[in-house]
Structure 1
Amino acid sequence: MKLIECPRDAMQGLPHFVPTDLKIRYLNELLRVGFDTLDFGSFVSPSAVPQLRDTADVLAGLNLANTPTKLLAIVANVRGASEAAAFPAIRYLGFPLSVSETFQQRNTNKSIAQAFDEVNAIQRLCAEAGKEFVVYLSMGFGNPYGDPYSPELVATFSERLHKLGVRIIAPSDTVGSSTPEAIEALFEPLIRSFPDVEFGAHLHSRPGDVADKVRAAVRAGVRRIDGALRGFGGCPMANDELVGNLPTEEIIQVLSQDGLAPSINQEAFQKAMTLSAGVF
């Protein structure tokens, strides 16, 4: 099971700016834990996400010498992707492609058609730069705007991405609207239909629903799950009540109970948990 830790997603909506040196200390502790991937920052307009305006400086302070963890940075356009791709330490570039037209405009100031053009260009850039491309399908379990939604729509988006060469796709529950039944109904046919695609689950959840959502994803065949320590986060672009990420500590507990827990450094994990209280 691949655990993706998402401090970037957790921090982006904070009203106070987390000092760069504190970000670096927190991320360096997370790098010691043994996560598969760390979603550590983004190369987007500082006016859009001021909290992450120091991503390049943060990257310069990370200790990558003895970690198995790979770095992922979020980008919103080709310019940001080019900037991120210039850093050898970054393995993955992530792009938020929404199945909701309203949210695509709110999140990236583009239509879905324009966003697909960006995806095509970034996929080519990643191939040339030796990076891996992760596309997050935002509002992947419905939206609060009344825009069209169905699991078949997510499958159509996935098919288009597959034809472009994208091999990591993460349907994302941006506002916490998913249910265990919906998670299984979405992922099971996707994984069956596109066996050469790695489908990840980026889920948000209210307290009490985490275990059922994790187990539903696992039953559907998902082997890549995103989380954030203490369940911090939520999407500030959604104009909806923020619903936090799946708490990483609860994901680990559920997977441990079911015999699927990844190997992690427990000492580093506890230190990161302590540091997270100061960050958030």
Structure 2
Amino acid sequence: MTRPDKVHIREVGPRDGFQNEPEHIPTDDKVRLIDALGRSGFTRIEVASFVRPDVIPQLSDGVEVLNRIDVPDDVRLMVLVPNSKGLDNALKVREKFHDAAIFVSASETHNKKNVNRAIADTMADNDVMAERIRSEGLGCAAVIATSFGCPYEGKVEMDQVLSIAERFAEAGATEVGFGDTTGMCNPAYARDFFAAALQRLPGVEVTAHFHNTRGQGLANAYAALEAGCTSFESSFGELGGCPVPKGSTGNIATEDLVSMFHEMNVDTGIDLPSVIEAAREAQHVLGRTLTSHSLIAGPIDWHLQSA
């Protein structure tokens, strides 16, 4: 297969990243950071989740954030909805976003611990939500967590994950994202997995979402690209991550992913220095050092002459 020369990247830091922060992030800062990301060339940003405020207090201001952000008109905004009640709340501000994401874990134990339901019950609710989302004229995306391994059950079989993905597609999801929630994927498996996913999900946008817990995030993204994947998710500053695995870090850093793709002459449409600046500002807001390599080292300057 010819390597794709253009990819789409969704920035998920404002949802997947912020929700894991232990300290309260002021709404003003969230709005300012999302606006900066929106001016960095992203055409897709995940901005909020309609979960119970007592479960994820960091995202309790989601409606205010949606009402106040000011991003270019070509930026598609996504929200995450955990269940039908969450969708009810999201649809109250339906005009403020373009896509809604529904989700499930690929492993039974993780799904029960995450949403307190069996996979079968979650998927039954997802079928109903997918129809409602589409009836509202919104884009319906689906996310499968623990697609590459579960901290409780270990290996998750590829066919199990792809069967869930096929059910999402049958329900009307036009995009299915596969999450390496616990950082258990490796490049060889990523290549085989995304080759199989693209074959089994014709007409569906297949999205790769890797975490960098064991340092293989960018290598996995490269392997997915080599398999033909053109849709990725990442988080500026390497924010986010799953709180379950010991030593868990965040998602792969957007600025590192963009830097790698640009060095490979793969177009992202994203301005790398702007993303690095947004990550630097997030570092200031959070009051701690973030871990992305591009934030620390900066972009490569090919105009510099070696001594």
TM-score, normalising length: structure 2 = 0.86
CA offsets per residue over residues 210-236 of structure 1, 9 Å max, x none?
331121010111111111112111123
Asked if 1:83 corresponds to 2:109, the answer is no
1:141–1:178 CA contact under 8 A, matched in 2: yes
2:148–2:155 CA contact under 8 A, matched in 1: no
2:151–2:245 CA contact under 8 A, matched in 1: no
Do the aligned partners of residues 34 and 67 (structure 1) sit closer, same or farther apart at CA in structure 2, a change above 3 Å counting? Answer: farther
Q: What letter corresponds to residue 103 of structure 2 in structure 1?
A: P
1:139–1:175 CA contact under 8 A, matched in 2: yes
CA offsets per residue over residues 46-100 of structure 1, 9 Å max, x none?
1111110000011111013x34221111110111112223321211111221111
Deviation at 1:160, TM superposition (A): 1.6
Asked if 1:175 corresponds to 2:182, the answer is yes
Higher alpha-carbon Rg? 2
Other-structure match for 1:56: 63
Q: What letter corresponds to residue 42 of structure 1 in structure 2?
A: S
CA offsets per residue over residues 5-60 of structure 1, 9 Å max, x none?
01111111111110111111111111111112111111110111111000001111
Other-structure match for 1:132: 139
Identity percentage of aligned residues: 26
1:100–1:149 CA contact under 8 A, matched in 2: yes
TM-score, normalising length: structure 1 = 0.94
Report matched runs for 1:1-280 at 5 Å.
1-7=7-13, 8-64=15-71, 66-86=72-92, 87-146=94-153, 149-206=156-213, 208-236=215-243, 238=244, 240-266=246-272, 268-280=274-286
2:11–2:235 CA contact under 8 A, matched in 1: yes
How many residue pairs get matched? 278
SS in 2 for 1:145: coil
Structure 2 residues without counterparts, runs of 5 or longer: 1-6, 287-307
Deviation at 1:199, TM superposition (A): 0.6
The Cα RMSD (Å) is 1.7
Aligned equivalents of 1:206 and 1:183: distance in 2? Answer: 15
SS in 2 for 1:200: strand
Structure 1 residues without counterparts, runs of 5 or longer: none
1:27–1:62 CA contact under 8 A, matched in 2: yes
